[in-house]
Structure 1
Amino acid sequence: MPVPRRNPFRELAGGVADLGRGFAVWGTSPRLMLLGAIPAAIVGLLFAGLLGGLVALLPGITAGMTPFADTWSPALAEALRTLLDVAILLVSGLLLVLVFTAVVLTVGDPFYERISRAVEQRLGDAPNEVEEPVLAGVLRAAGEGAVLAGAGLLVALVAFLVGLIPVAGTALAVAAGLVLGGRLLVLELTGTPFAARGLALRDRLRAVRGSRMRVLGFGTAVAALFLLPFAPVVLMPAAVAGATVLARTLLERTPTAEG
């Protein structure tokens, strides 16, 4: 069945609006959202320390990667190492965002299930919860996590290589990271509402392909906000709530995913 033509600008705006509806849950269920912020705050402190350590070690890392530049003119060597600094920071930031999301979703799974369930009930026609054996759930989550982790490494490599392009490389790497990384974030964040319907990663992939521009709007907005200091703590529960809204739209457009 062919995918119906939709206005791409409305779809982009719709994806951003889905995230906005997630933020609105802070006003209607502040205690529930605050519970969802706790895992993000705890994990966020750890990742902030990792990022701070990387920044401190970065000059030594780039110098170790470019010993051949010691014979160059100081200006040229500095330019090369600055380019590498930026590329490494971009890649590291992207990887940290993807890994941070996966870890927080795992650690705070009970909280995020409650947030997603509350959104489903508020929107109506909430799915009946699917009973899944604990071991089966762990194995499924581990397998899906491994697939998404591999995809994240590939996206990071692409962003790193693009970042090495002179002049325009940094801007292109940021754009590639937001677009590709945002898509992976959507796949991670919609895991709860899809699992509530007994659906797996392959179903998410099928649904995402049917609404690329809406996914782009939501994913890039989340990815961009995740890069802001302290934003992930407030954003994480809102992103889960918004992803639940987005997932319902994706499933409405992809009925075969539920079959």
Structure 2
Amino acid sequence: MRDFFSGVRMFGRGLGILLRKPKLLLLGALPAVLTTLVLLGGMIALVYLIDDVAAAVTPFADDWSDTWQAIVRVVAGIGLVGASLVIGMITFSALTLAIGGPFYEMIAEKVEDDLDGPPGVVDLPWWRLLWLGIRDGLLLVLRSLLFTIPLVVAGFIPVVGQTVVPVLLALVTAWFLALELVAVPFYRRGMDLRQRRTALRERRGLAIGLGLPASLLCMIPLAAIIVMPIAFVGGVLVAHETLSGRAESPRAQRPGNQIRPRAQ
């Protein structure tokens, strides 16, 4: 539990850092604004077309009575919107960090300069950061679906669906969001997604302590525009805490597990 509360405090420290450096807050908010507009447009379109979409995914109910057909399709519509909100939250962080890769690298550099600086910085071009952000973000979204879809379905189970499932869903979302938030500091050290997961798995409580308040606050409409840069700075602090004093394992030193820097 100590690691969990440390992660929550690092989220709070991210807010304090950005309040002292409002230019960094503005810089980090710009990609979040663009992503918000894209995902908000998609969500509005889904809600507008939800009747047709619910009918399309429940063709087996076409011959049922009007009452049962309506019940099944209302439940399907609620499930689709709920799943879209969860997936949108995870996709939001992936898209924001991919689009804002150069911006967030600059923020990470300034934040870590105030600490003791990261060892062995890898000089990556902006297009490389964009590609890594899109690739790893997509992998994390697909992996998260393996957990979130069954949990969303389980949410319709009486009692369990209203008590245990929301807690598990919040923890899963927090974990995958934390993996996104620490991406840039790991990239700057030449470390890929596999090494990121391995490092955070050893400090899972720290990661969830960062991701949980960030994911919950992102559920407030438009709050993600401000929450994302705060959570990202918290992610820089979590990555720094996780990696400082951590000797690289032989596996981490294998060329196949590292990001190759561009040729000088």
TM class, shorter-length: 0.7 to 0.9
Query: Is residue 127 from structure 1 mapped to residue 125 from structure 2 by the alignment?
Result: no
Task: Give the residue type in structure 2 aligned to 1:71.
Answer: W
The answer to whether the Cα contact below 8 Å between 1:25 and 1:33 also exists between their aligned partners in 2 is no
Flag structure 2 segments of 5+ consecutive residues without an equivalent: 254-264
How much does 1:241 deviate?
0.3
Query: Is residue 108 from structure 1 mapped to residue 116 from structure 2 by the alignment?
Result: no
Query: Is residue 184 from structure 1 mapped to residue 185 from structure 2 by the alignment?
Result: no
2:224 aligns with 232
Flag structure 1 segments of 5+ consecutive residues without an equivalent: 1-7
CA offsets 1:176-207 (integer angstroms, 9 cap, x no match): 33211221111111111111111111211111
> 1:70-109 counterparts in 2 under 5 A?
71-72=64-65, 74=67, 77-109=69-101
Question: Relative to structure 1, is the Cα distance of residues 86 and 255 closer, same or farther in structure 2, using a 3 angstrom cutoff?
Answer: farther
Query: Is residue 206 from structure 1 mapped to residue 198 from structure 2 by the alignment?
Result: yes
What percent of counterpart residues are identical?
Answer: 30
1:13 aligns with 5
Task: Give the residue type in structure 1 aligned to 2:74.
Answer: T
Aligned equivalents of 1:168, 1:58: Cα separation in 2: 26
Aligned equivalents of 2:248, 2:95: Cα separation in 1: 30
CA offsets 1:58-112 (integer angstroms, 9 cap, x no match): 23322343352763472x5544333323322221111111222111111111211
Query: Is residue 215 from structure 1 mapped to residue 219 from structure 2 by the alignment?
Result: no
Task: Give the residue type in structure 2 aligned to 1:237.
Answer: P
The answer to whether the Cα contact below 8 Å between 2:181 and 2:235 also exists between their aligned partners in 1 is yes
The answer to whether the Cα contact below 8 Å between 2:118 and 2:240 also exists between their aligned partners in 1 is no
Question: Relative to structure 1, is the Cα distance of residues 32 and 140 closer, same or farther in structure 2, using a 3 angstrom cutoff?
Answer: closer
Match of 2:137 among 145, 160, 176: 145
Normalising by structure 1, report the TM-score. Answer: 0.85
Question: Relative to structure 1, is the Cα distance of residues 28 and 137 closer, same or farther in structure 2, using a 3 angstrom cutoff?
Answer: closer
1:248 aligns with 240
Normalising by structure 2, report the TM-score. Answer: 0.83
The answer to whether the Cα contact below 8 Å between 1:98 and 1:181 also exists between their aligned partners in 2 is yes
Match of 2:187 among 195, 199, 206: 195
Instruction: Give runs of ≥4 in structure 1 deviating > 4 Å.
Output: 76-79, 133-143, 170-173
Q: Which has the higher helix share?
A: 1
Q: Helix, strand or coil: the match of 1:117?
A: helix
- Which protein, 1 or 2, shows the higher relative CO under an 8 Å CA cutoff with sep ≥ 6? 1
Question: Relative to structure 1, is the Cα distance of residues 189 and 167 closer, same or farther in structure 2, using a 3 angstrom cutoff?
Answer: same
CA offsets 1:220-246 (integer angstroms, 9 cap, x no match): 221111111011100111111000011
Aligned equivalents of 1:77, 1:237: Cα separation in 2: 44
Task: Give the residue type in structure 1 aligned to 2:220.
Answer: L
Question: Relative to structure 1, is the Cα distance of residues 165 and 69 closer, same or farther in structure 2, using a 3 angstrom cutoff?
Answer: farther
Task: Give the residue type in structure 1 aligned to 2:33.
Answer: A
Aligned equivalents of 1:253, 1:78: Cα separation in 2: 59
Task: Give the residue type in structure 2 aligned to 1:23.
Answer: L
Task: Give the residue type in structure 2 aligned to 1:131.
Answer: D
